Structure 1
Amino acid sequence: ALAALAVTMVLGGLLAGAFAWPGATGWPLARLTDLHAMWGLQGWVGLLVIAIAFQVVPMFMVTPPYPALLTGCYTTAMFLLLTASSLSSGLQGPARLFHEACTVLLGAGYGVFGACTLYLLARRTRPTADPTTLYWRTAMASVLAALVVWLWPAESNARPLLLGVLLVAGVAQSAIHGMLYKIVPFLTWYHLREEAPSPGHKLPGINKIIPESRAKWQFWAHAAALLLLVAACLRPDALARPAAALMCVACLWLWYNLATAARLYWRLRPASGSPLSVTAPT
């Protein structure tokens, strides 16, 4: 994932140079733009989500472990496919089949990961889905939806925008929000425990630091905003602004929930010792 981020940054720098000096470089802007988006979304974001999921989905969402076939060299194989697809993107004629084969295998790889994750989430031992599980289900459903949009035979001007919405707001944003609802309460509880004046000091449970009901309502706001953004790709004139406004509301709601954990920490942390008094010599 870090290597993919480095490639994304290099491609972004090349694009910036091409736009800054349009007549001096002669670089193919359309191809660079496609490669930049591919490495940023499928490389950096996609590989990072896969690598994190292998660890956090079984741990935090109490699912069976991923199959060994996926956790072995899966991310390495996906990175190599991404590299081969990028290097062959300029091929023409019969050699173009190699590029298309790499691209199809890359899409199939993400589809297998998304379907496998949804299957594991359906087999989790806890019957009630918490906000993190709901967010990760949304992220994996967005992976499969993006794959369907990419494979859809009918051409449409809305397809690139729809893919961007599904991959950015659907996959990346949902996965990040879901993990924040696990990481922030745990770190708050952990630091309160470490700073407790005595081992038996009573602390709120991890699930009480950010009330689950409040987090779920925020998730539903995010899900509604995501659906509205998808619809806005087809009717941007009527739905783009309402979708953006609702997504802003969902993000501000997330910020408020996380700020609740921060306020709880500052309220419950033990008071520091009184400041040292310094007396000036006479």
Structure 2
Amino acid sequence: MGRFRKITGAIVLVCAIYIAYIMRDTFDPESIRGKKVIVTGASTGIGEQIAYHYARLGAKILITARRENLLKEVSKKCIELGAQEAHYLPMDMAKVNDTGRLIVEAEKKLGGLDYLVLNHALYYWELWDGNIEKLQNIMNVNFMSFVSLASKALPMLTKTNGSIVVVSSAAGYIGIPSMISYSTSKFAIHGFFFGLSQELAMKNINVSVTLCVLGSINTDHARIGLQKFINAQGWMHEEDLPSAEETAMRIIKASAARARKLNFPYEQTRLLQLLSIFFPELVDKLVSIQVDVNVL
């Protein structure tokens, strides 16, 4: 029994040291100054805050989303916050064949690219009803446009030893009732970009891929979901969630460190990942009881 306790204690200690090591802050703000950055989905929420943080750090920024009026305001604020340049290009990511315009614009306006931050997303809060068109639309926005943009940006990123930053979700670890189309797109993202990272390394191409797996964040979109999905059960509240501002900075720091993956909040997303691997039946039960079908 004593030997077992020693072994268990040693494992716990090693795990604690590892977590402390990977979570240490080595970020140098000056490393971002003058960098050329694309941020998608930047009109609101986490994407907007990512743009503002890059602006404060003195980057050159090109932002995109669907709503031009909001992009214009975000771009203006980026200049006020200290961005060396701030440009915007309205785009609908459902039009996958049109995504190349963003990369062309980056080459034209920024003269190159250091960071491609893929943050845009589409989802529906509804039970699966067999609507293939909606599923295709989500896959176009949440997956195919990510692949298209990353592929088209690779030549520029290769020249700068740049980074692809992929904002994803813990929904890519488990299938979530009422969001299975969204979960499907996130599973696809994880598979593609983990594989792409390995292929780039095999080819000795020094472009990093950072997959940012987010849990529940305090944004307008998340609050809508919480009202339908979590708060209906009363076990998590908005004030318990990290802000979009904090999340955005975590994403920037992880990408600057060229990290393979960011789990944030760490305890929530990492625990969910481990449970889904070792106790999938338990995860199924925990997730299913949180959905109030009557509000969907």
| TM-score, structure 2 normalization | 0.26
User: As a proportion of its length, which structure holds more strand?
Assistant: 2
| TM-score, structure 1 normalization | 0.27
Higher relative contact order (CA 8 A, sep 6+): 2
The structure number with the bigger radius of gyration is 1
